[in-house]
Each structure stands twice: as structure tokens, then as C-alpha cells.
Amino acid sequence: MVAIRTRSRFGPPAAGGGIVIPIAAPLLADEEADAARAVVLSGWVSQGPQVAAFEREFAALVGAPHACAVSNCTTALQLALAALDIGTGDEVITVSHSFIATANVIRHQGAIPVFVDIDPETYNLDCARLAEAITERTRAIIAVHQMGMPCDMAALMAIARRHGIAVIEDAACAAGSQIRIDREWEAIGKPRGDIACFSFHPRKVITTGEGGMLTTADADLDRKFKLLRQHGMSVPDTVRHNSSSVIFEEYVVLGYNYRMTDMQAAIGRRQLERLPELVARRRAVAARYAEQLGNLEGLRLPTEPAWARSNWQSYCVRLPDRLDQRIVMQHLLDKGIATRRGIMCAHREQPYSSLAQGQDLRQSELAQDRSILLPIYAQMDAEDTLRVADAVRAELER
Ligand SMILES: *Cc1c(COP(=O)(O)O)cnc(C)c1O
């Protein structure tokens, strides 16, 4: 693990190439290291009691009846599709404007991704264009809460229910985000559709190195996830290990090995304890950016709809047309500030070149080409955001 105390107790990791302000930085400290150490010394390092406890605690935190931990969010999304029996020839509606795993899992199941354009205000699926993408072969929608900003689930669920289509939430970025449903603020992960999938990659708000989680209200789906992630094994190894009588397992379905380890889960449990603080800190960073960048002519800042509270996994700004994205990013990098371009569109990547594309995905393409992601992480102080804001201002005044 990288040393994290370069500047303060929770300073960002030292990066190469003269980077002073990285794009992101996980917040990991002694608590996580001690938790992993205890598991290493316990004698049980694969999926076991820590995974079970992490699942219980995650479920309780988001208000879901069931949670199932897996190796990453990509496998979580694939299990979600598999558990819903989505396969060859089925159509799954989602956005092209997402991390490519969202579309890849659909194709790995033999199904066909049907891309809908985004709303440029939220960078999420434009629900006004959802209905026109539905055909008699549509089996599911994967709704992405991109960069932690909740997707308009009320509008989306109304359409999905009307057509009897399953809904999977790609909540990879959205641990700690909230959405207002029927006047109540609820965590993303509390079941609204059928299944929600989370990532614990270090670029997300909490991390286990690699890791994922599925939540659902459906006990049958949860049972399927738990069978499928462990080779379709009828009796888990933990049960056999602790049994005083001999047990023979069976392999009742065609499964996978998508397990999380107990070391990861132990780290995840400590990260869960930090989640409210991590989100509060990120929201403070976003508020400072809004203040420091708010009056810059031509720069469009991300905003939360009235019914959404983002965890600000990423902070994405839209550049004015006259500025070149790559040049702005290079100038910032020259000042030691790392950025990333806007979320990339899957339909523009090679494995998707042969996929028939009738859809108008102009807003998705513009978001990729005209946006940049600014550094954001919980440890970022006012000095850091001001430094970024000053560098962005210099570009706009150029
Ligand atoms: C990161 C991410 C994924 C993949 O998560 P992994 O845990 O890295 O597999 C999927 N979808 C979205 C929207 C993501 O941002």
C-alpha cells in the first residue's frame, strides 16, 4: 500500500511526474491496515466471516434487505444480469457515456446494449429519451449514477414499471449518494429497481483495493448471487469448515469465482465507518469549487437536482467551446495538477465499432470532448482547491 502521509495525517499519496494535486486519493490509514493485518493472522483469508459482516453492515447502511459482496463492480453487474436470466438476443438499455464495464457486461452475457443519450446537466441517462429505445426485446435498464450523481430514478422507474422491464442500478460511483423519493432522503442502494451494484475500486469514495457489492430486496436474487459468485456450490466452504459431520457439496448451477477476500472485507468495514465523513468532506470540496469557480464566464459547473445529493465521486466541469480540452489539461498538468477528460463513450471504442448505432448520442460525445474532471478527494483542503481554481481561471482568461 502507498504511504499516504505526505503532507498531513491524510495527505494524498506522493505521485510521480511532479504532480502536487492528484486527480483522486483513497483515504486509508492505520485502522484499515490493522484490520487487514488481523485477518492475515487469523488463518482465514478468503471469503468468510469478514465478508459476511461487511455485507450486513453495508445492507444496514444503505437500507437494503440483502447485500452480496463480490470481487469488483464489473462482476457485480454481470451477476445482476445473470441472476435476471438476461442473455443472448436480449436488449439492455443503458448509456454509452459510462466506464466501459457497464456496456461490456451486457455483451459478455450475449445481450445487446442499446445506448440512450445523456442529459448534459446531470451526465445521466436522459429519461425523456428512454421510451423511444424500448422494444419488445428490452429486458432490462442499467441506470448509471454517473460520478456519484443520482440518476432520475422516479422518472426511470415509472417508465420501467409501465413496460415491465427490470432495473439494475450501476451505483459503482455512488456509495454515500442520496436521492429524495416521496419526500424522504434515501441512500443509493436502498432497493428501488431490482438490484444495485457498487464498486470499491480506489477511484471510488470508499475502497477495498478491488471489490464490489450487490444490494436487493429480493431474497431469491440474493440467493442466486451467492450461489453464482462461488462456483454454484450448494454448501459454502465456511459451512463445511465449521461442521462436525462430513458434508458433500454439489454444484447446482454454472457458477463463477467472483468472491471478495476477508482481507478486503475487513478494510471495507473500516471504510464504511468513514463513509459519512468522507462524503461530508467531498461535499465541502465541491462547495468550495462552486464558490471559487462560480463566476467564471463560460465554465459550466455540475449542479445537483433538488432531489439529489451527490457524494461527488468526481467533479466534472464543461469547458467553453473556444478552449481545447487537451491543451487545458496539459497546462494544468504543467502546474502539477492532474485532471482527466470527461467520461468516455463506449460506442466510440474499438470493441463497439461493429455494433449498429442508430441512436443520436451527441450529448454523450460532447460531454467526453468538452468536459474535464478536476481533482477531488476527501483530504483536499482550501489551499488545494484554490490552487486548482486559480489554474482553471488562468485558462479561461487566456
Ligand atoms: C468504476 C466503474 C465500474 C467498474 O467498477 P470495478 O469495481 O472497477 O469493476 C462500473 N461502472 C461505473 C459507472 C464505474 O464508474
For strands 138-144 and 91-94, give the pairing.
Answer: parallel
pLDDT at residue 13, rounded to an integer: 58
Q: What pLDDT shows up at residue 238?
A: 82
- For a mutational test of ligand 1's pocket, the pick from 72, 81, 199, i.e. the residue with the most ligand atoms closer than 8 A to its C-beta, is 199
With a 6 Å cutoff on the Cβ, whether 173 touches ligand 1 is yes
Ligand 1 atom nearest to 75, measured from its CA:
9
pLDDT at 356: 67
* pLDDT tens digits, 163-177: 999 999 999 999 999
94 pocket-lining for ligand 1 (C-beta < 6 Å): no
Q: Which atom of ligand 1 is nearest to the CA of 210?
A: 7
Q: What is the pLDDT of residue 355?
A: 83
Q: What is the pLDDT of residues 324-344, one digit of tens each?
A: 999 999 999 999 999 999 999
Q: Who contacts 343 (Cβ-Cβ below 8 Å, separation ≥6)? A: 97, 98, 99, 123, 146, 147, 316, 367, 368, 371
Q: Is 99 in the pocket of ligand 1 (CB under 6 A)?
A: yes
14/37: higher pLDDT: 37
Cβ–Cβ under 8 Å, residues 153 and 124: no
pLDDT tens, residue by residue, 342-366: 999 999 999 998 886 678 999 999 9
Q: What is the distance in A from the centroid of ligand 1 to the CA of 79? A: 14
- Which of 97, 115, 170 has most ligand 1 atoms within 8 Å of CB, for mutation? 170
Is the predicted pLDDT of residue 5 greater than 90, yes or no?
no
The 10s digit of each residue's pLDDT in 87-137 is 999 999 999 999 999 999 999 999 999 999 999 999 999 999 999 999 999
69 CA distance to ligand 1 centroid (A)?
14
Q: In the predicted model, is pLDDT for residue 3 greater than 50?
A: no
Q: Give me ligand 1 centre to Cα 173, in Å.
A: 7
**What is the rounded CA–CA span in Å between residue 277 and residue 10?**
13
Q: Evaluate whether 146 touches 343 at the Cβ level (below 8 Å).
A: yes
Q: Find the distance separating the first CA and the last CA of the chain, reported in whole Å.
A: 40
Q: Is 315:21 a contact under the CB 8 Å cutoff?
A: no
Report DSSP state, residue 319: P
Residue 261 neighbours by CB distance under 10 Å? 23
Percent over 70 (pLDDT), the chain:
95
Catalytic position from the list 204, 224, 226, 335: 204
Asked if CATH classification 3.40.640.10 holds for the domain at 30-271, the reply, yes or no, is yes
The model's confidence at residue 12, banded by pLDDT at 50, 70 and 90, is low
Evaluate whether 192 touches 143 at the Cβ level (below 8 Å).
Answer: no
Q: What is the pLDDT of residues 202-214, one digit of tens each?
A: 999 999 999 999 9
| Ligand 1 pocket residue status of 170, Cβ below 6 Å | yes
Q: What is the pLDDT of residues 185-203, one digit of tens each?
A: 999 999 999 999 999 999 9
For residue 242, the model assigns a pLDDT of 84
Q: Per-residue pLDDT for 6 more than 60?
A: no
Domain 275-397 listed as CATH 3.90.1150.10: yes
Domain ranges of the chain: 30-271, 275-397
**Which atom of ligand 1 lies at the shortest distance from residue 203's CA?**
1
3-state secondary structure of 55: helix
pLDDT tens digit string along 45-103? 999 999 999 999 999 999 999 999 999 999 999 999 999 999 999 999 999 999 999 99
| Ligand 1 geometric centre to CA of 172 (Å) | 5
Torsion of CA 259, 272, 380, 334, to 10 degrees: 10
Give the Å distance between the CA of 274 and the centre of ligand 1: 21
Mean of all residue pLDDT scores within the chain: 94
pTM: 0.95
* 366 Cβ inside 6 Å of ligand 1: no
Based on its alpha-carbon atoms, the radius of gyration of the chain, rounded to whole angstroms, reads 21
- 98 Cβ inside 6 Å of ligand 1: yes
190 is catalytic: no
At 236 the pLDDT is: 79
Any ligand 1 atom below 6 A from CB of 264: no
pLDDT tens digits, one per residue of 231-240: 999 887 888 8
